[in-house]
Amino acid sequence: MAPSRSSVVPLSKRKIACKDCSLFQICLPVGISEEELERLEKIIQRRRPVKRGDHLYNSGDPFRSICAVRSGSIKSYVPTEKGNEQVTGFHLPGELLGLDAISQKIHPCSAKALETTSVCEIPYEQFELLSNELPVLHRQLINLMSKEIFEEETHMVLLGKKSAEERLAAYLFSISMRYQRRGFSATEYYLSMSRNDIGNYLGLAVETVSRMFTRFQDDGLLTVERKHIIIHNLDRLRHLAGAMPCKSGGNSFCLTRS
């Protein structure tokens, strides 16, 4: 049975130059020159795909490089005593991870592949050297980090203020938007993470997540079959997600319910 991700290409089989990579505009600075791009490409490493369950790095590992997901997905989490853990984020194609380790030079989180996943690595020392000559690289990293800080604030609002229903709705809506941005369907996808991981990330018990999925389905909001999600009413989903910081029409931020 064929995965319905429109045209599936075995990404892992091909060596792709950065400028041909679909993650181009996300990973790389806008307005970079051809020559600058070549120099950046030289230091980017493409690891061979990691298998489901494998770790990209572990909590406590020395920080060596920033990673960008090319395909697949990664879960970041802080391990705690006796197998407990707190999931701190999921990383979809085009998204970075490891930015929390730059300052301490040690990874505070572990990163585990949720499925077969391929990743680009940018060795940080070399990136630093290159940035001395190309400040635009530094600037792009700062922008991406600022965005991450903003997104973590959004998640703080979720954890601090939202009900279980709002949390799951906001989560699904966020996944939708992130897939959409990458050119995938916003209304139909496979969730690569378990209910356990979702609950953990959202500060909910697994059972609560399960019940909310059931409720959403009973309400006709979506169809869910294990990991396969079809959203029938994205607008209602956003509405259910409750207030979230977003750019309003003009130049100001606001909190809307729709």
Residues making contact with DNA (CB under 7 A):
163-165, 194-196, 203-211, 213-214, 224, 226-227
**C-beta separation of 229 from 190 below 8 A:** yes
Instruction: Write down the least CB distance from residue 149 to DNA, Å.
Output: 25
Residue 201 binding a second copy, by CB under 8 A: yes
Report the SS3 class of residue 176: helix
Q: Starting from the edge strand earliest in sequence, which strands make up the sheet with 65-71, in order?
A: 45-46, 118-123, 65-71, 96-97
Out of 8, 9, 17, 102, which residue is the one contacting a second copy (CB under 8 A)?
102
User: How many whole angstroms separate alpha carbon 23 and alpha carbon 20?
Assistant: 8
- In single-letter form, the type of residue at position 134 comes to L
Instruction: Write down the least CB distance from residue 173 to DNA, Å.
Output: 17
- In single-letter form, the type of residue at position 176 comes to S
- Residue 177 tokens read as 């938007």
Per the DSSP assignment, residues forming a β-bridge with 257 are: none
Out of 25, 33, 45, 104, which residue is the one contacting a second copy (CB under 8 A)?
104
Instruction: Write down the least CB distance from residue 229 to DNA, Å.
Output: 10
User: How many whole angstroms separate alpha carbon 178 and alpha carbon 155?
Assistant: 15
- Residue 107 tokens read as 């990874």
What b/e string do you get for 154-166 counting C-beta neighbours within 10 Å, with b at 16 or more? ebeebeeebebbb
Q: Cα 178 to chain center, whole Å? A: 8
User: How many whole angstroms separate alpha carbon 53 and alpha carbon 111?
Assistant: 10
Instruction: Write down the least CB distance from residue 247 to a second copy, Å.
Output: 7
The helix or strand, by DSSP H or E, that contains position 114, with its residue range, turns out to be none
Residue 177 binding a second copy, by CB under 8 A: no
Out of 149, 183, 207, 219, which residue is the one contacting a second copy (CB under 8 A)?
149
Residue 257 interaction partner, one of a second copy, DNA, none, beta carbon < 5-8 Å per kind: a second copy
Out of 12, 131, 208, 210, which residue is the one contacting a second copy (CB under 8 A)?
131
Out of 62, 214, 219, 220, which residue is the one contacting a second copy (CB under 8 A)?
62
- In single-letter form, the type of residue at position 37 comes to L
Give the phi and the psi of residue 256 in degrees, each rounded to 5: -115, 160
Instruction: Write down the least CB distance from residue 90 to DNA, Å.
Output: 14
Residue 145 binding a second copy, by CB under 8 A: yes
Residue 4 interaction partner, one of DNA, a second copy, none, beta carbon < 5-8 Å per kind: none
Residue 108 binding a second copy, by CB under 8 A: yes
Instruction: Write down the least CB distance from residue 89 to a second copy, Å.
Output: 8
Out of 27, 32, 69, 141, which residue is the one contacting a second copy (CB under 8 A)?
141
Per the DSSP assignment, residues forming a β-bridge with 76 are: 89, 111
List residues binding a second copy (CB under 8 A): 59-60, 62, 78-81, 84, 86, 88, 99-104, 106-109, 128, 131-132, 135, 138-139, 141-150, 152-153, 155-157, 159-161, 200-203, 243, 245, 247, 251-257
